């Protein structure tokens, strides 16, 4: 059981990193290149795009670590394996990451300076990150606690 838990932790880490990469890619492309919807634009320089995607990955993984780990703990503890749970959890994590950067005014109880498009981009990136995590690790949430089915003995050799 300990070995399956260690293996599961590696799967969770890999799923988190892949989800952060996907979310970072979506955020960078949506925020830096909003004119991609125009068909007449040429593609950006690949070297510059790789550097910007790396910074997007670092940004998203740094801010999403705590909310994502809370989501992972909940889904692992309760054997939640549904794709919709991960999509909604990713959307909440994405919105929380964005709203964590916006100043909050406690006297009026609302966030100051929320840009709706940016909130939508972060929420959408969170949905895609949740889907990516589900593809890699979420489909088998809590499976490390299930006892292995004993293999039937091999037939005797003749």
**Is residue 148 helix, strand or coil?**
coil
Tell me what pLDDT residue 34 has.
72
Residue 41 pLDDT: 65
pLDDT score for 86: 96
Q: What is the per-residue pLDDT for 39? A: 57
DSSP conformation letters of 74-90: HHHHTT---HHHHHHHH
In the chain, the N- to C-terminal Cα span, in Å, equals: 35
Q: Which residues of the chain have pLDDT under 50?
A: none
What is the per-residue pLDDT for 85?
95
- C-alpha to C-alpha distance for 133 and 127, rounded to whole angstroms: 10
pLDDT at 100: 86
pLDDT at residue 12, as a whole number:
93
* Element of type H or E holding 38: none
Distance CA 79, CA 69 (A): 15
Backbone angles phi, psi at 154, to 5 degrees: -70, 150
C-alpha–C-alpha distance, residues 57 and 20, integer Å:
6
pLDDT the model gives residue 36: 64
Token couple for 113: 């300076």
Q: What is the pLDDT of residue 92?
A: 94
């Amino acid at each position: 059981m300990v070995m399956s838990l260690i293996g599961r932790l590696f799967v969770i880490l890999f799923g988190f990193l892949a989800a952060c990469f996907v979310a970072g890619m979506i955020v960078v492309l949506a925020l830096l290149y909003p004119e991609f919807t125009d068909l007449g634009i040429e593609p950006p320089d690949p070297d510059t795009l790789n550097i910007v995607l790396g910074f997007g990955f670092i940004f998203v993984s740094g801010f999403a670590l705590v909310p994502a780990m809370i989501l992972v703990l909940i889904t692992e503890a309760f054997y939640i394996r549904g794709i919709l749970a991960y999509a909604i959890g990713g959307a909440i994590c994405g919105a929380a990451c964005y709203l964590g950067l916006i100043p909050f005014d406690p006297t009026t109880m609302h966030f100051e300076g929320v840009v709706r498009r940016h909130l939508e981009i972060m929420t959408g990136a969170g949905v895609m990150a949740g889907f990516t995590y589900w593809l890699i690790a979420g489909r088998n949430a809590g499976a490390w606690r299930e006892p292995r089915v004993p293999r039937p003995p091999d037939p005797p050799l003749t």
